[in-house]
Amino acid sequence: MGTLSAALWGTGKAESGPPAPWNGGEVRNKIFQLFLSPKTGFRNTRLVHTASGLRLAYGDYSYSFGRPEFQESSIALGTDGSVTVSSRGSAIDSQLEVRHEFHLPAEHPWIEEQITLTNHGASPLDLSGARCGFVLPIPLSEGRATGEWNEFKVIAIPYRREPNGSRRQYADFSLGQLLTQPYSSELWTEETTVMPAYASEGWAWSDGKRGFLLTKYSQEGMEWSLLDRSPGRDGQARLRWGGCGIYRGNPEHGAWLRAGESHRFGLTRLTAYAGGMLEGFYLFRKEMAVRGHGLPADYNPPVHWNELYDNKLWWLPDDEQDNPEMRKKYYTLADMKQEAAKAKGIGCEALYMDPGWDTSFGSKIWDAARLGPYPSLTTMLREEYGLGSSLHTPLSGWCDPTSYPQEMYRMDRFRQRLQWNPQLGFTSSPLCGAASQYLEETARRLKVLAEGGAAFFMFDGTMYHAECWDPNHGHRVPARREEHAHGMCRLARMVHAEYPHVLIEMHDPIVGGSHVRYAPTYYGHGHAAEGERFSKALGFDEVWAFELMWQPMQDLCAGRAIALYYYNLAYELPLYIHIDLRTDNENALVFWWFASTCRHLGIGGTPKDPAVNKAHFEAMAAYRRLEPFFKRGRFYGIDEITHVHVHPSEASAVINAFNLGKHPTEREVQFVPREYGLGKGRSLRVFGASSRRTQDAYVFTFNIPPLGHQMAEVHVA
C-alpha cells in the first residue's frame, strides 16, 4: 500500500493501522462510494458520486489481459478515516501478477487507484495492447448520450488547443464522440494520427455546473489519462476510464515485461468539483503545483535579448553557421557588444547567445580563441551593460557530434557503432543521450560555463532518434525513449547539484523544439526518485513554448499561440520563449501576447519600421515596471483573449485585452474582484480603461485597435 503515498496531495498519507484481510464490499469517503468484489475479480464494480447520485462506473472492471484471480485482498484504515484497499492476484495462467490498489482519503474530494504488473514467468510478456479501467455504460440515441449524461463533455487539460492546431481546433468531446469516434490528434506527431483511445494529461469531465477532474501521473514512465471503449455483450456502448493503458507504445517498460520484471503504472485520480471547464483547469493547476510542478517563490528570470534575429550567421544557408570562417566573420566579440548595447537600450536583463558562441555547433565549449575567455565576457556584460549571460546549449539530438569521442555514439542492434554523415545535418547526430559517458562530459562542460558566469542554459536538441545497444553506456539495453528522456532530465540535475542558481529550460525530451508535445509536460521535472543519483537536486526550471518563436504574429492569428493561454490555466510551471520582434506591429501585439503567456520572456530582432520599434521600447518600459505581475503573478482567464495577472504579494492586478481581428473592437469585460483574491465589495482604482461599478463587480470597457492590445491596471483602494 505504500506505492500510493508519494503522490497524495498535501504532506502525506495519514498513519494507517495494519492491513486486515478483506472480502469485499463498500468503501467510501465524503464524496465517493466504491463497491468492490475481489473474489470475483472486481466484477460488478460500482463507483457513485454521493452528492449527485451519479454512477461513474458500474459493471465489470475491464482487464484486457484477462480477469485476475485475486488470492489476497486487504483493507487499511487511516487515523483520519481514509481507506486503502489492496488486492493481489494473477492472470495469464499465473504468469502475470496483478496488484490493484484503491485509496479514498477522508479529507480530500477524490479517489485514487494504481496498478502494478509483475512477470513471474520465464519468458517476456508483450503487454503492448494492455488496458484496464472502470466501465460506465452510457445509453446512446443517434450517436448522442441520453439522460443526465447528455450535457457532459470531456475537455483535454492542458492542451485543449494543441500548439499546432488552428483557430477551430478544440479537444472538447461529447460522450457520444468518445463512444463512437476515433481520436485524431497532432499533439504527438507532425501529422494527424487516428487512435482508438483519447489521451491527455488530464480531463475536465463536466456539464458546466458539476465536474470531475481525471488525471494520470507518473514519473516512472510516460503515461496519459486514457478514455476509450470497452465492448459489451449487449451491444451497449461502455466508456472505459482510469486504470492504466499503453498508448503509442508508452510506458515502454510497462509494454514489454521481461522475466521477473515489474512495472508500477501511474496514479489515477478522480476529483469532484463544482463548476465547468475553467474550474477544472484551475483544479489541475493546483494539483500539479502540490506535486512540485508550480512556480518557485523566488522565480525571477531575466528578460533576454536574443542576438540571433539580427545576426547574419544564423541566416546563412545549409549548416554554414558551423563554418569556422563564417563564425569569424559574423560572430565576434564586437558583434556581441553591439547586441549587448541593443539589450541595454531596450531594457533587457541578459544577453542570450544563440548558435555561434562555441567551438562547433553544440560542443558547449566556449570559443575563447575567437571571443576571449568566457569569464571576461560575463564580467564585461555585467559591468559595462548591466546584463547577465545566457547560452543556447543544444544536446545530443541536434549538434555537430565531432566534439565528442565516438565511444559516446549509439550502437545498433548488431553492435555496430554508428557514424555521422555531415551531409545529413545536425539532426542526424549519432550521440547517445542516455550514455553515462555523454552525460558526464556534457555536465562537465556546462559546469565550466556556470562557473564562468552563465545564468541560463537552453536545453535544445533533446530529440530522441533511435535506440542504442551499447552495453558499456550504463543504460538499459536497448535504450529507447524512456532512457533518453531520463538522461536529458538527469543532466539538468547534474548541473543543478553544483549550480542550483542557473536557470535551465528543457525542450520536449523526446521531440525537441517543435509544435509537438510528446512527453507529459511535468515529466522529469522536480526531484528524481529516492535512490537515484542527483535525486536531491532539482531538474529543469522551465518549459519551451512550443517553437512559437519564428513567426509569432502568424502563430497568434492562426490560433496556434492560443495554446499558451490554456497552458497557463493549467500550469504555473514557467514557459520560456524568445520572439522575433520584426514580425510585430505598431501595437506591439506580439510582444504583449507572449509577455502575457510566457513567464520568461525573450525578445530580439530590430524592426525596420520606426513606429514598431518605438512601440517596443514603450512596451518594454511598461513591462519592466509591471514585471512581478507577469513573472510571478497568478494567471486567470476571463476568456482566450482577456487575461488577468494578480500581483504575487499586493492587492492589485493587470488585465490584458487583445483584439486578433482586422477591425477595431469595443468590448465590455466584467471583473469580480473576489474571484481573483482581491476581496469582496472593495473599491478599485482603475487605470488604462474606463470602468463602472455594479454591486460586487466592475465592468471595464476596452477599445482595442485592429490586431491590438489594451491593458488596465487594477489596485484595491
pLDDT confidence band for 17 (50 / 70 / 90)? confident
pLDDT at 191: 80
Q: What is the pLDDT of residues 181-228, one digit of tens each?
A: 999 998 998 888 899 999 999 999 999 999 999 999 999 999 999 999
Name which residue leads in pLDDT, 560 or 236.
560
- Tell me how far apart the alpha carbons of residues 640 and 568 are, in angstroms, rounded to a whole number: 11
Cell of 574: 514557467
Delineate the domains of the chain, giving CATH numbers in brackets.
2-290 (2.70.98), 349-544 (3.20.20.70), 636-716 (2.60.40.1180)
For CA atoms 189, 404, 524, 222, give the dihedral sign.
positive
- Per-residue pLDDT at 560 exceeds 70: yes
Average pLDDT over residues 506-531: 94
- Tell me how far apart the alpha carbons of residues 578 and 552 are, in angstroms, rounded to a whole number: 10
Name which residue leads in pLDDT, 79 or 98.
98
Amino acid at 43: R
Average pLDDT over residues 152-172: 94
Q: What is the pLDDT of residues 401-437, one digit of tens each?
A: 999 999 999 999 999 999 999 999 999 999 999 999 9
- Tell me how far apart the alpha carbons of residues 698 and 609 are, in angstroms, rounded to a whole number: 38
CB 230 within 8 A of CB 135: yes
- Tell me how far apart the alpha carbons of residues 583 and 556 are, in angstroms, rounded to a whole number: 11
pLDDT confidence band for 14 (50 / 70 / 90)? low
pLDDT confidence band for 231 (50 / 70 / 90)? confident
Q: What is the pLDDT of residues 314-359, one digit of tens each?
A: 999 988 889 999 999 999 999 999 999 999 999 999 999 999 999 9
pLDDT at 2: 37
Q: What is the pLDDT of residues 353-394, one digit of tens each?
A: 999 999 999 999 999 999 999 999 999 999 999 999 999 999
- Per-residue pLDDT at 4 exceeds 50: no
pLDDT at 682: 76
- Per-residue pLDDT at 1 exceeds 60: no
Calculate the alpha carbon distances from 629 to 89, 350, 563, 626, 633 in Å. Answer: 53, 20, 20, 6, 4
The average confidence (pLDDT) of the chain is 95
Calculate the alpha carbon distances from 707 to 58, 549, 584 in Å. Answer: 51, 18, 10
Average pLDDT over residues 48-57: 96
Weakest-pLDDT range from 1-10, 364-373, 393-402: 1-10
Average pLDDT over residues 671-678: 94
Average pLDDT over residues 284-303: 97
pTM above 0.85, yes or no: yes
pLDDT at 289: 98
Cell of 49: 458520486
Cα-Cα-Cα-Cα torsion 333, 337, 339, 345, nearest 10 degrees, comes to: 170
Name which residue leads in pLDDT, 519 or 234.
519
- Per-residue pLDDT at 514 exceeds 50: yes
pLDDT at 299: 97
- Per-residue pLDDT at 524 exceeds 50: yes
CB 571 within 8 A of CB 285: yes
SS (H, E, C) 42-101: CCCEEEEECCCCCEEEEECCEECCCCCEEEEEEEEEECCCCEEEEEEEEECCCCEEEEEE
Cell of 414: 548488431
The proportion of the chain whose per-residue pLDDT surpasses 90, expressed as a percent, equals 90
Element at 604 (helix H, strand E): strand 600-604
Amino acid at 521: T
Q: What is the pLDDT of residues 450-471, one digit of tens each?
A: 999 999 999 999 999 999 999 9
- Tell me how far apart the alpha carbons of residues 165 and 167 are, in angstroms, rounded to a whole number: 7
- Structural Rg of the chain based on CA atoms: 27
Q: What is the pLDDT of residues 99-151, one digit of tens each?
A: 999 999 999 999 999 999 999 999 999 999 999 999 999 999 888 999 889 99
Calculate the alpha carbon distances from 514 to 164, 190, 318, 601 in Å. Answer: 9, 9, 19, 18
Q: What is the pLDDT of residues 636-673, one digit of tens each?
A: 999 999 999 999 999 999 999 999 999 999 999 999 99
pLDDT at 535: 86
pLDDT at 15: 63
